[in-house]
Amino acid sequence: MNIRLATADDADSLIEFNQAMALETEGKQLESNILRSGVEAVFGDEEKGFYVVAEIENMIAGGLMITREWSDWRNAWWWWIQSVYIRPDFRGQKIYAKLYDFVKARAADAGDVCGFRLYVENDNSRAQRVYERVGMDASHYLMYEESV
């Protein structure tokens, strides 16, 4: 297994993952053109974040995206883990743990990261157990949103 930064050549897999995740977790069909533009925008502007992928035998088996949030309280960055997806036939192989280890190593190298955050569906207990196994804890914050 090779864990690496994604490149623009991986965009089709990442788009596929986002489509599958939205359908699997929220029953949503994402607009393909908007999604493609969104994924490609990350590769065109490093300020938007970066993707990490797990590659097994020349196939992208899973991936995630990192975005950043500045913390004035800590004078450092929170790295948000987003768009986590592992192909169903590769689940149970600790791929997320390896992706997370890669992200933590990059954050340590950066030297200005105070921690990691992610959000997960309330009823996605399988994912919650995975996150807990790698050392993450449920936050005391609730998330609110308003779409425009």
pLDDT in tens, 11-41: 999 999 999 999 998 899 999 999 999 999 9
The helix (run of H) or strand (run of E) holding residue 3 is: strand 2-5
SS3 22: helix
List, for residues 36-88, the tens digit of each pLDDT value.
Answer: 999 999 999 999 999 999 999 999 999 999 999 999 999 999 999 999 999 99
Q: Which CATH number fits domain 2-133: 3.40.50.720, 3.40.109.10, 3.40.50.2300, 3.40.630.30?
A: 3.40.630.30
Helix axes 125-133, 95-110, angle to 10 degrees: 50
- Beta bridge partners, 81, equal 66, 118
Sign of CA dihedral 114, 94, 85, 15: positive
> In whole angstroms, what is the distance from residue 148 CA to residue 41 CA?
20
Nearest 10 degrees: CA dihedral of 78, 7, 136, 122? 100
Query: Residue 98 pLDDT more than 90?
Result: yes
* pTM greater than 0.95: no
